[in-house]
Amino acid sequence: MDQMFSKWQPTVLSLFRFITGLLLFQYGVAKIFKIPALAYFANPPPLIMTAGAIELILGGLLMIGLFSRIAAFVLSGEMAFAYFLGHMLKNPAEPVLHPLNNGGTAAILFCFACLYLATSGPGPISIDGAMGRK
């Protein structure tokens, strides 16, 4: 069983990188271009717009696998920042620590998914892989 799954590891890593980038890219599109039109992103403050630009650009780089480690590392930090400022400390007078109560589950998951990608690399199906960069 282990051999059967391990032979697919490089391909699944590339797929994981692409899907993670796509999901982050969609947040950037929603924040910057308002597609789809969600009430949550209707009039975002400048910090949310900056986060959207980071997610749009670096999410796109993750999807194609270009500068993957750097993009994933920056996105990991952005997601940690988003959790602590945007979720846990939404109201600094009363921090909400539990992710189910503060809506930060996705931010935590993206943080660690990107941290994993920063350490593991893009996988073989990527521009970085085609150019021989690790």
Please check whether residue 10 is in contact with residue 123, taking contact to mean a CB–CB distance below 8 angstroms: yes
The residue type at 70: I
Does residue 74 sit in helix, strand or coil? Answer: helix
The per-residue pLDDT for range 21-61, each reduced to its tens digit, is 999 999 999 999 999 888 877 888 999 999 999 999 999 99
- Nearest-angstrom CA–CA distance, 31 and 119: 28
Q: Give the angle subtended at the CA of 39 by the CAs of 34 and 40, to the nearest 5°.
A: 90
Residue 45: exposure state from Cβ atoms within 10 A (0-12, 13-18, ≥19): exposed
Ordered by start, the domain boundaries in the chain are: 2-131
Q: What is the pTM of this model?
A: 0.92
